[in-house]
Amino acid sequence: MKPLKEIAFTRKITKLMRDEGYLVYVISASSRQTIGLPDRYVMGPDVPGLWIEFKGPTTRLSMSQRLFLSKCAKWKHPAIVLYSPGIVHIYGSNGMPVYTMSVENCKSMREMFGKVYAYYDDSNPYFFQYSSK
């Protein structure tokens, strides 16, 4: 997949998630938004809740976004940063990536979420145990 700019990448992945039946909540950039909130919140039968921050090939996380991601890690709320063209970073409570994976070749959003949640299993004591049942 060719890297897309952040806006086009966000729209494409959001559409794929919705097409597969996931609820995708858009966190709009407005003067009332809390600084640092990710771009989307996703839920579905196999995704109990996931914050997603989208980044294009040249965009970087702000300090407030790193802080939000570190709090998610500390308080056991799944959150990822999805970089175009398909690299996922999971951040730790120190505000730095603790796990990176490629999802570029995933055939569906369900497959991508499965890879993400495989990280959040009982072998990782910092996060909850996920069950797809």
* pLDDT tens string 13-70: 999 999 999 999 998 766 566 788 999 999 998 888 999 999 998 999 999 999 999 9
What's the rounded Cα separation, in Å, for the pair 47 and 106? 16
Report pLDDT for 95.
83
Q: 6-119, what's its fold? A: Trna Endonuclease; Chain: A, domain 1 (3.40.1350)
In the chain, domain spans: 6-119
